[in-house]
Amino acid sequence: MPLRWTFRSYVAPDGTDVIQDWFNHETKQARGKFRSKLRILGQLPFAEWRRPLFDTLADECTGLWEIRFDANHVPWRPLGFFQGLDTFTLVICASKDEHNWIPPNACTLGLARKAEILINPARCHDLPIPLE
Amino acid sequence: MTSPFPWSEALIRDLADKEEREAFVADQVRTRIALQIRALREQPGRGWSQTELGNRAGKPQPVISRLEDPEYGKVTLQTLLEAAAGFELPLLVEIVEWEEWAIRMSRVSAADLHRRSYDVELLIAEVQASVEAARQISIAAVAPNYGTAVSIGIGGAGPVYGGILSQAYNTYLDRDIPSNALNALSVYRGGQWGGNAMSLGNIAGPSPSFAQAVLTHDQSQEIVRLRNALTESERENATLRAKLADASLENPLDQRPVPPAFMISPHEAV
């Protein structure tokens, strides 16, 4: 069964895919869980994108959404936004320490990358991590 | 029948790493069961709170909350059995082939995870409906032209008996019949569809005790005999077609000896 959703990822000015770069440097536990969560979300209708897998952010993070999973006791929060009805674009893989973002400017950075993509669609491409 | 493996080569190669694969598998399993418990609880017709499910499963609400949390990694088999019992549903825990696992794990939406509770009247009605369908539905495969024409009727759906009979049917007739599509089997024999029907139908007949339905030895032997008759008939047909294709036999009248009066002597020909 093909995924309902397409995942895309932010590409930095130097051509680095920041999501793939994070993935390549993470633990195998985090990699396995990240891929699993994307695959599950990719199979769900939009109405089922909700906690505990997913959440809408507010306040200084308004305009971004988070994917939620823990790996090696680290609460990972890949952030992204919707493009159309079937595309979710990831802009940063942040994490949390208690209630603080890591990096602390995760939402600011994420929103800036979102703005870059909206101005220049070439700043993102299909996530190069196989999900199906 | 084998279903296509639902993963790409790239994904299969990526998951060749054992540690990453194990993390992937564990997360898929944990997330799916968490999503299913919530989907079952919220399923139309139930609409239960976590507290209500807890009451039915004999568990406090925080236990249900943890069951619905894919990041909670200490769910026990006993707790799952009790949660399933709260829904009046059975639990299936099984180590399977990768293909089956991948296919199951590709169905995680709430609609995919909804299940019906045990309902005596509903289950009996389904059994009765399948038996009735078996009496009414038949699909003919009529042998052509010559010899002993054999046609085969196949009964309708029956999830209780279907697999067993389907397996027996496929074994003896080498036909590709969906495993869930067979409840009763009728074999008709005659020159045309419906002629001289000899019914082996209702083999599976309604059984309130859900007794296993199997083909008796005599019934199996009869099916084998009819299968052989059909094979023989097809062989004869092939032989006759080959003879008809021979130009010398296109018109049997051409094979008659030419009367002497119409023969031309060598002298006349000159």
B197-198 and A69-71: which strand pairing?
Answer: unpaired
pLDDT band at B217 (very low <50, low <70, confident <90, very high): low
User: Residues with Cβ < 8 Å from B180, sequence gap 6 or more?
Assistant: B157, B159, B162, B163, B166
Contact check, Cβ <8 Å, A32/B8: no
pLDDT band at B235 (very low <50, low <70, confident <90, very high): confident
pLDDT band at B216 (very low <50, low <70, confident <90, very high): low
* Smallest CA–CA distance from B72 into chain A, residue: A70
Long-range contacts of A120-125 (CB under 8 A, 24+ apart): A122/A11, A123/A10, A123/A11, A124/A8, A124/A9, A124/A10, A124/A11, A124/A89, A125/A8, A125/A9, A125/A11, A125/A17
Q: What is the pLDDT of residue A45?
A: 97
Beta bridge mates, A69: A76
Q: Which of A36, A26, A8 minimizes the C-alpha distance to A113?
A: A8
Q: What is the pLDDT of residue A98?
A: 86
Contact check, Cβ <8 Å, A36/B28: yes
Q: Which residues of A touch B26 (CB under 8 A)?
A: 32
Predicted TM-score (pTM) of this structure: 0.67
* Residues B21-44, mean pLDDT to the nearest whole number: 98
Of chain B residues 65-84, which have a CB less than 8 A from chain A? Answer: 68-71
Kindly tell me if the per-residue pLDDT of B242 is higher than 80.
Answer: no
Q: Which residues of B touch A32 (CB under 8 A)?
A: 19-27
pLDDT band at A14 (very low <50, low <70, confident <90, very high): very high
Kindly tell me if the per-residue pLDDT of B184 is higher than 80.
Answer: no
- Cis peptide bond upstream of A103, omega within 30: yes
Kindly tell me if the per-residue pLDDT of B221 is higher than 50.
Answer: yes
pLDDT digits (tens, 9 = 90+) for A19-78: 999 999 999 999 999 999 999 999 999 999 999 999 999 999 999 999 999 999 999 999
